[in-house]
Amino acid sequence: IKLLTYVNSLFSSAYVFNWSKFFESPLQYPPAFDARIVLYPSDENLRDYLSWRQADVHVNNLYNTCFWNLVQKKNMTTTQ
C-alpha cells in the first residue's frame, strides 16, 4: 500500500506543479485521484483489462465531446 500512496501522491503533485504549463487559467480546486493495486492472474487478463479500459475511455470521451458541443455550440440545455 505504501507504493500506491507514493505513486498517487507523486501524480497529484505533478498535476498541480505542471498545471500552468498547459492551461492559462489557474487551478480552481485541488485534484483528487483514485488509485488501487490489482493483481491479475495472467498477462492476458491484464491486456484484456487495459484494452477494455482504453475502449471505455474512448467511448466516454466521444460522448462528452458531443454532449458539450451540443450544449455550447447549439445552445441546447444539458437535459435536451
Instruction: Give me the residue spans of the domains in the chain.
Output: 1-37, 41-80
Question: Sign (positive/negative) of CA torsion 9, 15, 18, 20?
Answer: negative
What would the pLDDT profile of 8-65 be if each residue is shown by its tens digit? 999 999 999 999 999 999 999 999 998 888 999 999 999 999 999 999 999 999 999 9
What pLDDT shows up at residue 21?
Answer: 98
* 80 pLDDT higher than 90: no
- C-alpha cell read off for 77: 440545455
**pTM across the whole model:** 0.60
